[in-house]
Structure 1
Amino acid sequence: MLHSINLLRTLSCYAIAIFHIRAFVHSHSDTVRLTFSASPGFHLFLAISGFILVYITRPDDTPLNFMMKRTVRIVPIYWTATTLALLLALARPWLFHEADTSLPSIISSYLFLPHYDLGGDIQPILFVGWTLGYIMLFYLLFSLSLFVPERVQVPAAILMTICVIAGARFLPAGAYREFYGDPILLEFAMGCIMGLSLRQKAVQDFVKATPMWPIGLVGIVGFAIAMNVTLPSWGRIAVYAVSSSLVVFACAGQDLFRKPLQNEFLAMGGKISYGIFLIHPLLMTAFGVTLFAITGNDWVATILMFATVLPLSSVLAYLSFRYFETPTNTWLRKSLRLSKLPPKAAREVKAEMGPTVV
């Protein structure tokens, strides 16, 4: 079990939620100013996704089977959360005042296609869904990589990611060019590289003989630099990409080839992290508007937002995972006859690991 990676997934989603609450507070208050101005959560999210796809990909899987398994995991709750956001935007436009509720925007939101909202940002109706547009792209690239021989599947996925960035430059100016040409895609490629490196025996021997925490610490220092120093776009992405990959490498190496964390609470945190990611924008918007309206004090409203949105998002994410996501995923996999075999990478690692070290 990837307990350290699950902890990282949980922390990344909480970091994203905290960053969004901060942005909401700043847009509704002239007196409250929270010092942090960036979040590593998005960058970790993409790097983790790259590693996880390398870890779970079975080279003997079919492209369609692989794509369908990933799709049935993320689509049901995303479509549900998007529908709730759409209903709120239609009934109370001031809750999602930048959401574009036109038909093309609605279709694009459900299909993970990039488009501009009313504020000029590339965001769907449920604004956090922009990240999932990249995730669906990664799923597609990994599905396509299954057409080539096993030894080059992951390099092929990485190469296709780079080609997407380069190819987007030839598109007409607009949402597609801006979205798919964003160098943030390199963070996913870095996560893939970390996953690929951990398949190599020399790297595995290095991990078994070397404490992972200093590597993770270097990544954290990189986050601190990126969050507090003004850098050009490519420079900022480069620092985040390297920092995220180092943290992911350290956590994955600890889980796979050293003494993993033994904590079921962390495992559950990883399972509900996707729910936290999708649910917190709905609660933040509804609670935030209400709290700022009734308290009359911006600092009280801010404190209450953090005290209510984060724990309630966690509770609702747990309920969603147990009573909606898991049953839905199980039913869809059974109905579509999708494979239940564990990922080949997991089977191979389990066979090769042998005794773990501290």
Structure 2
Amino acid sequence: MIFHIREFVHAHSDTVHLAFSAAPGFHLFLAISGFILVYITQPHDTPMNFMLKRTVRIVPLYWTATTLALGMALLKPWLFQDADTSLSSIISSYLFLPHYDLGADIQPILFVGWTLGYIMLFYLLFSLTLFVPEQYQIPSAILMTLGVIAGAHLLPNGAYREFYGDPILVEFAMGCIIGLILRQSHVQDFVRRTPMWPFVLIGLAGFALAMKLDWEGWGKIATYAPPSALLVFACAGQDLFRQPLKNKMVSVGGQISYGIFLIHPLLISVVGVAVFNITGNDWVATALMFVVIIPLTTVLAYLSFRYFETPSNTWLRRTLRLSNKPPKSVRQVQIPSQPGT
């Protein structure tokens, strides 16, 4: 959210420059995604059950936000200047498929949704691994991820080759490996007797170095993947095998994060255009964007989680007769049961 406010300001101001990079967050996001899928998968899950459970959590709010963004782009095109409202783009946006927008970026109508294209791919790959014996599931997920990258380069130039051939997908496989590592009893013993905060500090220092180097392609993976792995390993290890962080604000923040992710682009366009036109002062407009958008998005995300996301998810799970058992911490770990996530 802060990064996209920054991007809007830079696009509309010649005098304000805000130094902030979202790169560490996205690389960390991919590593977490791989770990979480290992964490939540249950032995009794079937491929269809697993895929549907993930889909009913993602789709309702994304389709709702995409529909609002599409309406805004059709009625007020200047609110989403790069949005492609052609039929092919609309279909691709709703189905999480890569598609170039008017600015030649691979982004759906609700531009942040491009990351969900990767998430739905990961869900699909992981659901397919449930066809094989449990001990081969994670290696299969890793091999299929690498296979997607290699296979994409056999495609002709275009959105599919660029999107699915991005080496950043390796970081999802890395997250799966972290989940596999944390299942090992000797690693669990190591975590129990070793403070995790030094790994966090090293990871943060690694992110600082990666942002400074600002390499591309495989160089970007080489600089961002190691600190991402350290942070995921340290935080997961701390929560599972040492002392979990019990903080209500952090817990609620996690619950509403998906809403924040999808709602803030809708507000940035409306609020940003309004404050820049009304104030006539770039710095005042910038300050107002942060003051208005961050708390308003947070409130709307909370309301969305409580009154839309949770009820819709519950209703769809019941209607589709999906398993609603809480996920285990990590399969076969010998620790007290942890809360579901």
Q: TM-score, structure 2 length as denominator? A: 0.96
What are the equivalent positions in structure 2 for 1:1-358 lying under 5 Å apart? 17-346=1-330, 348-349=332-333, 352-353=334-335
SS in 2 for 1:40: helix
Structure 1 residue 203 displacement after superposition? 0.7
Offset, 1:265:
2.0
1:268 corresponds to which letter in structure 2? V
**Which residues of structure 1 form unaligned runs of 5+?**
1-16
Per-residue displacement from partner, 1:92-114 (whole Å, max 9, x unpaired)?
Answer: 00000000000000000000000
Cα shift at 1:232: 3.1
Write the letter of the residue equivalent to 1:353: I
Cα gap change, 1:256/1:337 in structure 2, threshold over 3 Å: closer, same or farther? same
CA RMSD of aligned residues (A): 1.4
How far apart, in 2, do the equivalents of 1:91 and 1:25 lie? 23
Distance of 2:321 and 2:21 partners within structure 1: 46
Q: Could you tell which deviates more after superposition, 183-192 or 106-115?
A: 183-192
Structure 2: gaps of 5 or more residues: none
Q: 1: distance between equivalents of 2:81 and 2:90? A: 15
Equivalent-residue separation in structure 1 for 2:161 and 2:288 (angstroms): 40
- Deviations along 1:70-125, whole A, 9 cap, x unmatched? 00001000000000000000000000000000000000000000000000000000
Of the two structures, which has the highest relative contact order with CA contacts closer than 8 Å and spacing of 6 or more? 1
Tell me the distance in 1 between the aligned counterparts of 2:77 and 2:205.
Answer: 41
- Indicate how the Cα distance of structure 1 residues 219 and 90 shifts in structure 2: closer, same or farther if over 3 A, else same: same
Task: Give yes or no for contact 1:58–1:345 (8 Å, CA) kept in 2.
Answer: no
In structure 2, what is the Cα distance between the partners aligned to 1:119 and 1:56? 37
> Counterpart of 2:70 in structure 1: which amino acid?
L
C-alpha displacement of 1:251: 0.6
Q: Determine the C-alpha separation between the residues in 2 that align with 1:120 and 1:285.
A: 19
Cα deviation code 1:284-303 (max 9, x no counterpart): 11111111110110001111
1:344, CA displacement in angstroms?
4.2
Structure 1: distance between partners of 2:336 and 2:324: 25
- Give 3-state SS (helix, strand or coil) of 2:80's partner: coil
Deviation at residue 342 of structure 1 after TM alignment: 2.2
How far apart, in 2, do the equivalents of 1:263 and 1:142 lie?
31
Give the percent of matched residue pairs that are identical in Structure 1 and Structure 2.
Answer: 74
CA distance in 2 between partners of 1:236 and 1:69 (Å): 33
Aligned residue type for 1:191: G
